[in-house]
Amino acid sequence: MTEPRQRLRAAPPSGGRRARRASSPRRRDETIARLRRLLASAAVGVTAGIAIFGVTGGSGTLFATGQAAVADDSSAVTVTAKEQDADAADAPFPDLAVTVSQTRALESQGIVVSWTGGKPSTVPSSQIGGADFLQVFQCWGDDPANPGTPDRTTCQYGLGGVPGSHRDDPRDSDASVADQDKAYTVYGDGFATPTYTSIPFRAANGRVIANVSDGKFAYTKDAEGRDVLADMNTNEFFSKYTTNMVAWAGSGGDGTGSVKFEVQTALQSQGLGCGSPVTAADGSVSGSSCWLVILPRGQADAGASFITKSGLFWDAWKHRIAVKLDFKPLGVRCPIGASERQLAGSELISRAISSWQPAVCNQAGGSVYSAITGAESDAARAANGTAPAPLALTSRPLDPSLGADALRYAPVAVTGAAISFAIDRNPRPGDDTVPEADRSRVGLPFTSLKLTPRLVAKLLTNSYLDSLPTFADRDHLSHLDGGTRVFNPRNLVSDPDFLAINDPEWKYQSLAAASLADALVPQGRSDAAYTIWQYVLSDESARRFLEGTPDDWGMTVNPWSATTDDANASKQAMILPREDFPKADPIEQAATAASGPVNLVTWRPYVNDLDAGAYNTLRGDGLTLGGWDPIATPPKYGKADRSLPGRQTVIAVTDTASAARYQIVTAELKNPAGEFVGATTDAMAAAAAAMTPDSGQAQVVSFDPASPAAAAARGAYPLTMPVYAAVNPKAMDADLRRSYAAFIRFAATDGQQPGTAIGQLPQGFLPLPDAWRDLAKVAADDIEAGRMPTSGSGPVATTPASSTTPVAGIPFPSGGVVGSAPAAAVTASGSTAATTVADPSATGAPAPARAGATTPDDPDLGALPAALPVSVAGGLASAFAVPLLGRLRRRL
């Protein structure tokens, strides 16, 4: 036996059985993945949380609820096996036709791949990859032997430990090795050592990962100088934590199906390099294109009885079909030396800002703006004075308790909050009561989910059993029925309250996961959180549930989140509505000799922001707790692997723009008129038409779910939210006011053209109604001129010259005192109290979500001018992203 064969037999590199020691610990991969996603925004105008852009002085679907989302109909492409596969007659699905929802103007985002002509699929197991399914992945290079087709050595393909999805595998016989695979194959002795094939990965930067070359093993040296074989499925370019490969996408009984796919640019994957700037002879810049490959897998690989081998092996690869993907160029730069201005507040408008920036920052006279996301209430407070301050982006007026409101409000966007989900079917096995049609859809995603305010309340208050650590005392989520203790339902989809309003198919599912017992929620404070709580409180049954009254099936609120003193475990009511999502339960699973303690935040962590909620939904990552790592410093719990398509269970709070970016499905919400409505342009327009003025600030309108107008708006999406640019017209810096006015004019006019091109309004936003645009332009004129019509103690919105009557529900007040009546926060029982609280500590102490508690101050906005000049940051983002990641990889 030769030495290479001995090495291979002792530690085969296939899948999770690596022949070299892991040099990329999981925590390092996750850190790099997060940084890459952050820098991805930087390359199109968002650098480390700063969105940069400059300014010079209807109906339809935003994204789908109830079906696969389609971002850009004009660039959707359909391809077929018969068109692309020369051997289609012998392909697993000869009639396969695949539609890709968007193929142009791509960035770091999601797309939807849907198809017809498949066959009913079999879900994978720990031994086989499944049967009659598709695999989807991204490649960067063309095959030199077959121009106009992808090269398999340039594909980000390989999932360790997933059968049928490795980049390398032993072969069952030498006869199963196609001629095209022989250069990548080391032949065994047919008994003790198997024949082994490994397809190399050639990265876009020229680096090659290979452990077989010219039919021989290709060894490299580790840090100790020992010979090792490269792990083809976990390497410097991708691992199971960072790859976007879809290992299994199944079809239903009719041969149709769909799957979400995460598109990665060079900033998520150096190995792919998609979107890297390419300068043409005429000086124009485009982004490097890539391939989307759809690979049909049948019932067995060549020479095998099942699907267990790599899809890159020729017998499978020859049936691939592919679609060219065109990307926006990364690294758009604003001119160094341009005047720099700051915006602060709402995350809801960040997608629009990063689209507007590249179109305008290089125009003559343009300023460069940095938009820093933070609590809107803090941004409004900072902008309310006369000293120079960032322009505030907010959906609500200044809190009256902070003083008289001197701000001029200009509407610049209409968008909304949303609840996204990725839940795949798992009908109860062996249950004869499950209809055959439902059994045939195992592993396929649900595309419709309805929620009421009471169900939202349950998700946000950790009232389902599985939302608390498994081995802690969870008796407070139960009640006594006679002498029997009855616990709350385990999760949302097992709740009779949920099953009563959703499709009957849900009742046949066997779905159990902590990530179905609550929603991923962002940390910190926001107007989106306030709006969601306001929506919950608008419903009497939800209010009563929060007060401690059981629902019709006996479920009770988690007593640490109850809104009455008597029902709350602390004897102090939680105050609602509020600007955050507290995890108030102090529960703790005790430490053991083998593991550490688990509190609620450890068990169900926060996400960073609304965008992260949507991103985790796209990737099927419910952030469930992993195993205890005793060798970490300090020892800690890890995070469980994300769920691959077919097994996903995620619910998250997000916003409509992020949901559209990642093309994920969102819930239909019961509105005040009693209808279940999704976030379409029609539904958001209906909500905008039903908006009413704030009781203390007539310039600001909102969809008040308790108002008669909302109760009459049958088609309105209840979490629709406006975003205002707010400036004090009496601010001392006239140049700053002039620049802010220019921003408002651009945002309200040119920036409202929907589309995917640079400078256009992304999906997830409703274009401003004409009357709103007029109001914004009048406000811009007032801000630039330094005038603020007053009557009493506050500013008054002025009527546009072109409008004399309300349009789309927007009032045009001609007078009246603004900001004179503080709007007190109320508990569900109607008492007044403070609105903000601190989050629970890392030790699991209860959040002081009670009267009088306050949230710690956010960083002082006055420090923002010390940030890196954004014109420099935007210019350096692309140039330094890859070297920076390389340094981090070596250090982590």
3-state SS of 173-226?
CHHHCCHHHHHHEECCCCCCCCEEEECCEECCCCCEECCEECCEECEEECCCCC
DSSP-derived letter for residue 819 is: S
**Gap between the Cα atoms of 717 and 703, Å rounded:** 9
3-state secondary structure of 650: strand
Q: Of 465, 522, 529, give the one whose Cα is nearest residue 493.
A: 465
**Gap between the Cα atoms of 484 and 239, Å rounded:** 49
Same domain, 320 and 429: no
In the beta sheet, which residues pair with residue 411? Answer: 724
Same domain, 132 and 263: yes
Boundaries of domain holding 605: 425-647
Q: What is the pTM of this model?
A: 0.84
293 in a structural domain: yes
List, in sequence order, every beta strand (DSSP E) within 489-632: 588-589, 598-599, 625-629
pLDDT for position 805:
31
Cβ-count burial of 179 within 10 angstroms (0-12 exposed, 13-18 middle, 19+ buried)? exposed
The residue behind tokens 């499978």 is 316
Compute the half-sphere exposure of residue 320: CA atoms within 13 Å on the CB side of its CA.
Answer: 25
Give the containing element (helix H, strand E) for 577: none
489 φ/ψ angles, rounded to the nearest 5 degrees: -55, 155
Is the preceding omega at residue 435 within 30 degrees of 0, hence cis?
Answer: no
Cβ-count burial of 346 within 10 angstroms (0-12 exposed, 13-18 middle, 19+ buried)? buried
**Contact partners, residue 34, CB within 8 Å, separation at least 6:** none
In the beta sheet, which residues pair with residue 486? Answer: 479
In the beta sheet, which residues pair with residue 374? Answer: none
3-state secondary structure of 862: helix
Is the distance from CB of 796 to CB of 813 less than 8 angstroms? Answer: yes
461 in a structural domain: yes
In the beta sheet, which residues pair with residue 79? Answer: 98
Query: Which of these three, 587, 616, 647, is where a domain ends?
Result: 647
Paired tokens of 207: 């680096």
Same domain, 312 and 444: no
49 in a structural domain: no
pLDDT for position 340:
83
**Gap between the Cα atoms of 100 and 115, Å rounded:** 9
Same domain, 437 and 553: yes
Cβ-count burial of 256 within 10 angstroms (0-12 exposed, 13-18 middle, 19+ buried)? middle
Q: Of 589, 586, 422, 452, give the one whose Cα is nearest residue 520.
A: 422
Can you give the length of the chain in residues? 892
Cβ-count burial of 160 within 10 angstroms (0-12 exposed, 13-18 middle, 19+ buried)? buried
Same domain, 319 and 459: no
Is the preceding omega at residue 865 within 30 degrees of 0, hence cis?
Answer: no
Paired tokens of 269: 């994957």
511 in a structural domain: yes
Query: Which of these three, 278, 308, 325, is where a domain ends?
Result: 325
Number of domains in the chain: 2
For the chain, the C-alpha Rg in angstroms (whole number) is 28
256 in a structural domain: yes
370 in a structural domain: no
Is the distance from CB of 406 to CB of 796 less than 8 angstroms? Answer: no
| Sign for the pseudo-dihedral over CA of 482, 488, 490, 494 | positive
**Contact partners, residue 432, CB within 8 Å, separation at least 6:** none
Cα–Cα–Cα angle for 544, 581, 708, nearest 5°?
50
**Contact partners, residue 729, CB within 8 Å, separation at least 6:** 406, 408, 737, 782, 783, 785, 786, 787, 788, 795
The residue behind tokens 């879809």 is 246
**Contact partners, residue 763, CB within 8 Å, separation at least 6:** 62, 63, 71, 657, 660, 661, 754, 756
Is the distance from CB of 105 to CB of 75 less than 8 angstroms? Answer: yes
Give the containing element (helix H, strand E) for 294: strand 290-297
**Contact partners, residue 254, CB within 8 Å, separation at least 6:** none
Same domain, 435 and 320: no
pLDDT for position 51:
41
758 in a structural domain: no
Q: Looking at this protein, which amino acid is placed at residue 102?
A: Q
Is the distance from CB of 647 to CB of 515 less than 8 angstroms? Answer: no
**Gap between the Cα atoms of 210 and 167, Å rounded:** 10
Query: Which of these three, 647, 671, 691, is where a domain ends?
Result: 647
Residues of the chain under the 50 pLDDT cut? 1-72, 790-892
**Gap between the Cα atoms of 174 and 666, Å rounded:** 49
Paired tokens of 368: 């460069």
676 in a structural domain: no
In the beta sheet, which residues pair with residue 677? Answer: 669
**Gap between the Cα atoms of 254 and 886, Å rounded:** 47
Is the distance from CB of 838 to CB of 856 less than 8 angstroms? Answer: yes
Same domain, 321 and 433: no
Paired tokens of 177: 């090795």
**Gap between the Cα atoms of 349 and 768, Å rounded:** 13
Compute the half-sphere exposure of residue 881: CA atoms within 13 Å on the CB side of its CA.
Answer: 31
Cα–Cα–Cα angle for 235, 240, 246, nearest 5°?
120
**Contact partners, residue 437, CB within 8 Å, separation at least 6:** 253
DSSP-derived letter for residue 863 is: G
